[in-house]
A and B are shown apart, each in its own frame.
Chain A
């Protein structure tokens, strides 16, 4: 079986992991329009070649980032998300109807 190196748990069978899709920047849900949000939710680069993706080690629910070649099926590098996200990401909730800024 194909082996993936989990940054937390070390080398494990690929069947223990779930594919999370491309790493991409989320638009601000409070300011972006419906079209931009639909683009973010649905559209894919679907790159043939090197990609940066989210993966999850399911038994430990540990999410991390993998660099992988989608043509040769080679996993080049896996690392903790903290390498990319240096600061804590705050998710601001949209204001409720009637609140200021709604």
Chain B
């Protein structure tokens, strides 16, 4: 049995003390060990930002690439070797701003990967500017009059595109979050875990306390995660009450990239067949 300890390493952590990222790291390690995955079976792809550093703080294969580009790398790595458990991780600026196009189009592609977004509604590593998910009115040094653009809603976008697993967790509830992440990894298809992550340094609005007063669990209500319309309605709920848990999932008729494109049982990366192009050459005679 794999344990959380198997995922621990001694790389120096560069996060601020008290950061919501610690809860996310803990939840990911727990989810992976609960699924009995071995570190070498896992590939984490990340972009840039404090969230993008997460893969370095646990034992697994890592591709820490460019800002906004974790998803294309993760998708293609999964296509090349579908034996790997592939997770793309990044912040809200990374995944929804710089990488927004890849977020949208990889839901359509439906590779069997998990996307984890540390959604703290602020830019941390660039020192406190608004993010695509910042609430209207949030004042920063760069937005002195407050944010005016309406916030990007990753859940409603994903649900409207028919993303096969759409969920939200809270970094302040590690047990609940790790169960969501575990189900997301286990799900066949593109799974989204958007995580409410307080930024203790720059976001003075959406704090641990602010979230704790608002979050509730969808599974404790009569929510049916197989109903796309109801899921969409829930995704629009924000303010006094903030739902967490699994908003939407499709398990039936969910064709992944691998199913649709007929990938060979042996991963492409391991194929070493003889290549005979003589019939192709003949076509040019």
Answer yes or no: do A and B interact: no
State the A residues within 8 Å of B (CB): none
| Chain B interface (Cβ < 8 Å from any Cβ of A) | none
